[in-house]
């Protein structure tokens, strides 16, 4: 009796298995999915500052806007973006050491630099040592930024807020303890590119 019940089931299962096998062997194979190859890095261009003897490499999709009056550095921005302040990605420039910064080691000056150089920058938020491909040591800093007091629509002072700044990285200029070379990120969407930029900073031998 049991065989009379099981036999039709076994026959049906065999037929289904045969159909599945046939479809799998005759159906075209789908190529396995592969991860896309990484996009090649864009070619690099070099900005050279002959006044202070330094250079830095930047992506060829960027342009530079040299500071014509001081010749201390340049802005970096995407090509065809207009070259205005709002489109700046990063800046590089030589700056005077401010306050009591003359003559002290760069590692110490970097801890106080922006708070004395920039109006609404307060205490240091973080600092870390960075190394360039040419062997330079720099210091990447971030700062606590206070909003500037402004009047609201009712003529009252708006509440003061604080936030962390984008990074500013300081380098020592060889033989010069009155200035620093500073590389500043201006657009947080390009932090990876900024880190690559930092690694290429070099001074002429």
Q: What percent of the chain has pLDDT over 90?
A: 61
Average pLDDT, the chain: 81
Average confidence (pLDDT) over 7-22: 44
Within 10 angstroms of residue 172's Cβ, the number of other Cβ atoms is: 20
Q: What are 29-47's pLDDT values in tens digits?
A: 323 333 332 333 569 999 9
Q: What are 71-88's pLDDT values in tens digits?
A: 999 999 999 887 777 899
pLDDT at 31: 31
Whole-prediction pTM value? 0.75
The two tokens of residue 24 are 């799998």
44-203 belongs to which CATH class?
alpha beta
Q: What would the DSSP string read from start to end of 48-91?
A: EETTTTEEEEEETTEEEEE-TTT-SEEEEEETTS---GGGEEEE
pLDDT at 15: 43
Q: Break the chain into its structural domains and give their ranges.
A: 44-203
Identify the band that residue 152 occupies on the pLDDT scale cut at 50, 70 and 90.
low
Q: What are 88-145's pLDDT values in tens digits?
A: 999 999 999 987 888 899 999 999 999 989 988 999 999 999 999 999 999 999 999 9
Within 10 angstroms of residue 125's Cβ, the number of other Cβ atoms is: 16
């Amino acid at each position: 009796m049991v065989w009379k019940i099981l036999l039709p089931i076994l026959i049906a299962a065999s037929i289904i298995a045969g159909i599945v096998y046939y479809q799998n062997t005759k159906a075209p194979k789908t190529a396995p999915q592969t991860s896309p190859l990484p996009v090649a890095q864009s070619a690099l261009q070099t900005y050279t500052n002959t006044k202070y003897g330094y250079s830095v490499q930047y992506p060829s999709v960027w342009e530079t806007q040299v500071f014509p009056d001081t010749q201390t550095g340049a802005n970096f921005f995407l090509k065809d973006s207009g070259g205005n302040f709002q489109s700046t990605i990063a800046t590089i420039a030589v700056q005077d050491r401010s306050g009591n910064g003359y003559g002290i080691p760069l590692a110490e000056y970097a801890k106080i630099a922006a708070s004395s150089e920039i109006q609404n920058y307060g205490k240091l938020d973080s600092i870390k040592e960075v190394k360039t491909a040419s062997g330079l040591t720099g210091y990447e800093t971030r700062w606590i930024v206070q909003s500037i007091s402004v009047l609201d629509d009712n003529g009252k002072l708006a509440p003061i807020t604080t936030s962390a700044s984008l990074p500013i990285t300081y380098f020592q200029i060889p033989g010069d303890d009155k200035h620093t070379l500073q590389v500043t990120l201006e657009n947080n969407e390009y932090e990876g590119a900024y880190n690559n930029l930092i690694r290429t900073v070099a001074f002429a031998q």
